[in-house]
Amino acid sequence: MADPFDLLILGSGSTAFAAAIKASELGARVAMVERRMLGGTCANRGCLPSKNLIEAARIVHEASHPRYAGLAPTDIPVDFAALIAQKDGVVREYRAKKYASVADGLTDLELIDRDAMFADPHTVLVGDRHVMGDRVLLATGSRPTIPLIPGLDTVPYLTSDLLDADEAGRLTELPASLIVLGGGYVAVELAQMFSRLGSRVTMIARSGLLSGYEPDLGRTLGEVFVAEGIDVLSGARVERVSGDERGIALAVELPGAGRIVRAERLLVATGRTPNTETLGLDRAGVTLDDGFVVVDAELRTSQPHVWAAGDVIGRQHGSQMATPVGARQGRIVADNAFADAKRRFDGTVIPRAIFTDPPIAVVGETEAQVRARHYPAVATTTPLAYVPRAGAVHKTTGFVKFIASSIDERVLGVHVIGESAPEIIHEAAMAMHFKATLADFIDLIHVYPTMSEALKIGAQAFSRDVTKLSCCAE
């Protein structure tokens, strides 16, 4: 006899919990099935542990590379095992407080720790147990993509799972040398982190760094990486991989030449793949497209009682593979499933960040995206050297780029690389949410000196010579 639940959720990350909390508020009885660790990717092997270690690496780097005359450089010894242990402690504490205790506080929530596979559109098989849901949410997230490269399946390699605190695949020893395969946001964050902690890092990217972003973001970051001693090989195609526990070798085809790249360890960071192939979704009657669950704007699948949200829907309806995006979608699903709210997901304004140094943050469209839809627009790029705060703290590397409508000056996109970019991007996102124009950015009085003034100065650059501004950008 199947156990009936009002909502059956597959997954236990931010998407799943947002849906479970809202559904419980609406009186639903909820089951949540997780095949790995409670909390999903972000808490266990993604956002939280990576940002913990990235900050530690920044401290090490800044100690040995002081920005101020009069401060002597010093080397901070890195006890990698201890560093990893404190990271694991942070992850476990966060998981206990933000996931386990929250689950305990939901009286009508049952957690089920096993693999799940659909037996029919309303029922999943979990071990020997049949679990039934009147409504179902697919929130199983994604995992690192493993490219089809000859020899890769015969050698040991790392993925972002190396950040995990409690599962196989975690890394406990700092490699002397590391090859990072990939050029996306995960690849650049981890490459710089390992380099700053003491590994000799080589990046191998099929195109340039951060393909799909504003091109100057990747170019600027690449220049920083080279200055820090990271070897960046762009336009590279990996022909084969060989090696064992003692070392890895990649045969790489570069423009005009071939090269063998060697290192102690290999980190594969070539994208994300949705976790859908083991769910038996054909038995649920749910349509997939290249592994991603197909949904409408209300996040409903081809089955009226089944919804999907988070990484498993990819970029549909402007979605992004990001923790807060999944959380928003999870709440939308619960509202639609139990309150018939008919809420639609709108991905037009989603700020996102890359936690390199200098960090990167963007919101809205790139210039190429605006041009591709033949929309009349103008763009300008302003170096951070013109921002007083950046000069005051000796962090002038970077720029702010605005794209705005040439019809009404409404801001269409903001792209920043530089100090505090992930913090200041929210001003741009809020402004775009309310259809702000360049004049709105200019008219707002900013605290002086702050990095947020970059937005005001960047907007002024369309109509003024910002090299001739006095303080406070007026």
| Domain boundaries along the sequence of the chain | 3-143+273-339, 145-271, 352-473
pTM assigned to the model: 0.96
With cut-offs at 50, 70 and 90, classify the pLDDT of residue 167: confident
Whether the domain at 3-143+273-339 and the domain at 352-473 fall into the same CATH topology: no
- Of 346, 350, 347, 463, nearest to 409 by C-alpha is 463
With cut-offs at 50, 70 and 90, classify the pLDDT of residue 4: confident
- Range 390-405 average pLDDT: 98
pLDDT of residue 256: 85
With cut-offs at 50, 70 and 90, classify the pLDDT of residue 259: very high
Residue 3 clears pLDDT 70, i.e. is over it:
no
Q: Is the Cβ–Cβ distance between 284 and 276 less than 8 Å?
A: no
Mean pLDDT over the full length of the chain = 96
Tokens of residue 407, six digits:
């019809």
Helix then strand then coil, in percent of the chain rounded to 5, is 35, 25, 40
- pLDDT tens digits along 124-137: 999 999 999 999 99
- pLDDT tens digits along 355-382: 999 999 999 999 999 999 999 999 999 9
Tokens of residue 171, six digits:
């890394």
Q: Is 292 helix (H, G, I), strand (E, B) or coil?
A: strand
- Range 77-100 average pLDDT: 96
The domain made up of 3-143+273-339 has a fold known as FAD/NAD(P)-binding domain (3.50.50)
User: Would you put residue 266 in left (φ > 0), alpha (ψ -120 to 50) or beta?
Assistant: beta
- Of 77, 61, 56, 264, nearest to 176 by C-alpha is 264
Residue 2 clears pLDDT 60, i.e. is over it:
no
- Given the candidates 3.40.50.300, 3.50.50.60, 3.30.70.100, 2.40.50.140, the CATH classification of the domain at 145-271 is 3.50.50.60
Superfamily of domain 352-473: FAD/NAD-linked reductase, C-terminal dimerisation domain (3.30.390.30)
Phi first, then psi: give them for residue 178, nearest 5 degrees.
-145, 130
Q: Is 323 helix (H, G, I), strand (E, B) or coil?
A: helix
pLDDT of residue 169: 85
- Range 186-206 average pLDDT: 98
- Range 408-427 average pLDDT: 98
Q: Where are the beta strands (DSSP E) in 39-146?
A: 109-112, 117-120, 123-126, 129-138, 142-144
- pLDDT tens digits along 139-151: 999 999 999 999 9
Phi first, then psi: give them for residue 17, nearest 5 degrees.
-70, -40
- pLDDT tens digits along 317-330: 999 999 999 999 99
- pLDDT tens digits along 26-75: 999 999 999 999 999 999 999 999 999 999 999 999 999 999 999 999 99
Report CA-CA distances (Å) from 457 to 348, 392, 417, 466. 24, 16, 15, 7
- Counting other chains too, the contacts that 102-107 makes at CB distance below 8 Å and 24 or more residues apart are 102/17, 102/21, 103/17, 103/20, 103/32, 103/38, 106/20, 106/21, 106/24, 106/30, 107/24
Residues near 77 by beta carbon (within 8 Å), at least 6 away in sequence = none
